[in-house]
Structure 1
Amino acid sequence: MQSSITGSSIFRPMVWVPALPMLEMGDAEWMNDVGWPILALVGVLTVSLYLWSYLSKNYEIWKAHEGRYFDFEVLEASRRMAFIFIVSLLFLCCYVVVSLVFHLTTHPDWPEVTSAVFKLFAMLIIILAARLVVMVLNRMARKHGTETAAGTRMPAALEYSAVILSYIIYIVSSIVVLLLAVSIFTEDLDLLFSNIGAFLSTKNPAILGTIAVIVGIYLAIKMEETILEDVKFRSRKFNPQVIDLIQVGIRYILTIIGVLIVLYNLFYIIEMGDVGVLLVLVTLIFIILGIVMAHSTVQNIISGLVLMDVTPFDVGDRIRIMNDMVGDVFEKGLVFTKIKTLTGEIVDIPNSKVIRQDITNFSRLPSHGVVLNFDVSFEIPHEMVESYVKEALQGVEGILNDPKPSLQAEEIKGRVIRYKLVFFTKDVQREASLRSAVINRIQDIFHTEGHKFLGA
């Protein structure tokens, strides 16, 4: 009775249990089933550690020597990709070794699981390879831009070909990855595609339109990122931070457009188009209200873009603005322009106000006039004053002979005559130092000649 109970189906295992290797160590069969797979795993691990050690050791050396096909960004991404590849390869090897050691290959589902694992690994390799190739192409485009700026002429179509080729690689790799992902769940792709086609024709072509909008918005965002990155490296008109802000703004605009279209299409597909229209309208109203409330900011941003395109001044130029404010352009921003005055103060001027002002750019003039007023005793003859001033100017470096300096008597104030001296220099940044040097020279000469000099 007891034996019959023991042999009944109640005590049979209901799940599959892997067979554990129970052979003696050193046995030939044990080596084939356990020893060699483990040794192979150890070998792969050793090679992986050596490869990672080699990459880490030479990474700093490669980073210091940028080439035509790689720079810091490409090397950093390649390092991360190599780490992901090595870890994934070790995981794959561990999976195979565990399957062999514990005889998991005898499980009826092992072929499907293994096929899915290898397909996932192939998808990862395709994504990493596509990303690396695109980064190298972008590096080549940037390198071409640098060479062109330096004077080396190359075909302009090369950069655009690299951009187009990048998107072709993204599209092809995405299709291959998508097919591999689908094949994990079904081997009959023809049946799958026929079912998808029937679903699309039954529901509405709006589904295809939604997919097209998503893909189009994604490609448009990638395209504007590539174009603006190229502008950042080429253009000197635009501040890199401004280009980044423009890039973020365009990305938000495209994303909002895509979300609104997709939102409407989804409600249209489920036959709730009126609700979709209402949601889109409400969203647009909130966006418009936000823009209206930020009217001054938007106006400043538009003015900032106009200033960067027209470029009445560059960073470092000395300008006169706001009627009497003279200073150096410290920063050209998207909302404000920063001016560093002659006293060292930083003044933020809204771009909407800058664009409405008369601007004098001293740095773009061939010469800059420096005006100096000083008083001289009435008893000193005018010819003698001219001689002393001429001698003083000759001893100061940086003053131009053409245009010639001019000296005029402007008015009589009691026992002194007010003179106006105008001299010219190319370096507007030296105005203060030149003015001080000329005053000191005139003072020294007048004192040397024994005349009483009444200062400026």
Structure 2
Amino acid sequence: QTRSAALHDLLAAFVARVPALFVFVFVLFIAAVVVRVLHRFGAYLRGELKAKPRRVAPAGALAFAEIVLKYIIYIVALVAAVLGSIRALPASDQSAIQQTVGVIPGIEPIALLGILAGLLAIVVADRFVDSIFEDMKHHGAKFSPRALDELKSVARYAVWIIGAVVLLFIILALVLSGDRLVIFAVGFVTLMIALAFFAFSPIQNALAGFTLMRTDPFDVGQRIKIGDELVGDVLGMTLSLTTVRTLRNEIVQVPNTRLLQTSVVNFSRSKPYAIFVEVPMGFEVAHDRVKALLLQAAAETDGIVKERPAEVFGKEIEGASILYQLFAYTDQPERMKEIKSALVFRVQELFAAANIRPVGPASSR
């Protein structure tokens, strides 16, 4: 009989707390359903379902927004589940919890509606920002499409981050006292200032990237020269870094701040681009003969354009020799290295056939 009474009391206590358990599980279940629906909607916007939208959304920005919104939903649901289940506990349990942790805040329906309205406002703001930048891309000429895509991503990230912070403080205002909320706000602002201090260099690179995208000195796929030595093809560009494949097939990531601080030559836009070959010859060789051989080498080299004739100049006198400079032009900057090599080899062949030998090492660039 004693065991039966104890078992009866245990079952009665469990049954009394079933509503609280049901509230907790039900709220989290609803949150999981909402997240699942959000994921399906994101897949639709990315064009991953059979039904396709009229315009596919950028995968990167959409994935980030989906992750942020998912965690916001889970955080809100967890807070609502905990507070709601506490309110569904028996009065004796609520009194014990209040004596331990203090007054239990309640969540009014108007507060939940405010949180949901905030989530809706974030989604609307995100779509509004997207539509503004898409309109600028099609009707504005001040910024390049690449710059607008980068700015749109940054703006959408900012919308979600600011919205998440606002919702966080709204939720904390429901569960924290005024003094504790002020302390948290001070700590949060201090943390943001510290993060901004440590992220100064990335922010500086991002601003440099925005400046480069606005001025548009090069595009992806074009061949450029950075400074005096680095020559390569642009593979990609973000707000902070520009990726270049060098002539040695090396992948180099250049900070955008460096690109603003040094000269950048765009070979792809400098058509035709000049190739220089310098040859030192002794005084005993007639300059007309040297000029004719150099022009013949340029004319017989594949990749040298005919529309703009090659030119030969006497650059300077070096001791008992004259330094001749050949200007030949190409409209294939992506083959510049091969064309220059072929030109140098043809110069060598013609001078050897004419039994003429330069007096010093030739140079080219």
TM-score (norm 1): 0.49
Deviation at residue 386 of structure 1 after TM alignment: 1.9
Matched ranges for 1:56-455 at <5 A: 131=41, 138-142=52-56, 208-221=113-126, 238=146, 247=153, 253-269=158-174, 272-454=177-359
Structure 2 SS opposite 1:420 = strand
Structure 2 SS opposite 1:347 = strand
Q: Distance in 2 between matches of 1:343 and 1:133?
A: 42
8 Å CA contact 2:283, 2:321 repeated in 1? yes
Higher normalized contact order (CA 8 Å, seq sep 6+, divided by chain length): 2
8 Å CA contact 2:311, 2:327 repeated in 1? yes
Q: Distance in 2 between matches of 1:203 and 1:133?
A: 34
1:347 maps to a residue whose letter is V
Structure 2 SS opposite 1:404 = coil
2:54 maps to a residue whose letter is M
Q: Distance in 2 between matches of 1:440 and 1:267?
A: 75
8 Å CA contact 1:204, 1:269 repeated in 2? no
Q: Of Structure 1 and Structure 2, which has the larger fraction of its residues in helix?
A: 1
Deviation at residue 370 of structure 1 after TM alignment: 0.7
Count of residues in correspondence between the two structures = 271
Q: Distance in 1 between matches of 2:329 and 2:136?
A: 38
1:397 maps to a residue whose letter is D
Structure 2 SS opposite 1:408 = strand
8 Å CA contact 1:237, 1:311 repeated in 2? no
8 Å CA contact 1:443, 1:453 repeated in 2? no
Q: Distance in 2 between matches of 1:389 and 1:334?
A: 45
Compared CA separation, residues 273 and 209, structure 1 to 2 (3 A): farther
Q: Distance in 2 between matches of 1:297 and 1:306?
A: 14
Identity %: 28
The structure with the larger Rg is 1
Compared CA separation, residues 293 and 439, structure 1 to 2 (3 A): closer
Compared CA separation, residues 316 and 266, structure 1 to 2 (3 A): closer
Gaps of 5+ in 1: 1-119, 146-201
Deviation at residue 252 of structure 1 after TM alignment: 5.5
Per-residue CA distance 1:213-250 (angstroms, 9 max, x = gap)? 12212444466678889999xx985499x85x974x66
Q: Distance in 1 between matches of 2:51 and 2:254?
A: 41
8 Å CA contact 1:207, 1:269 repeated in 2? no
Per-residue CA distance 1:3-58 (angstroms, 9 max, x = gap)? xxxxxxxxxxxxxxxxxxxxxxxxxxxxxxxxxxxxxxxxxxxxxxxxxxxxxxxx
1:446 maps to a residue whose letter is F
8 Å CA contact 2:44, 2:53 repeated in 1? no
1:428 maps to a residue whose letter is P
Structure 1 SS opposite 2:305 = coil
Per-residue CA distance 1:302-355 (angstroms, 9 max, x = gap)? 322332343211123222323553333233233222333444444332112222
Q: Distance in 1 between matches of 2:110 and 2:281?
A: 92
Deviation at residue 430 of structure 1 after TM alignment: 2.3
Gaps of 5+ in 2: 1-29, 59-106, 138-142
Structure 2 SS opposite 1:355 = helix
8 Å CA contact 2:280, 2:321 repeated in 1? yes
TM-score (norm 2): 0.60
Deviation at residue 389 of structure 1 after TM alignment: 2.0
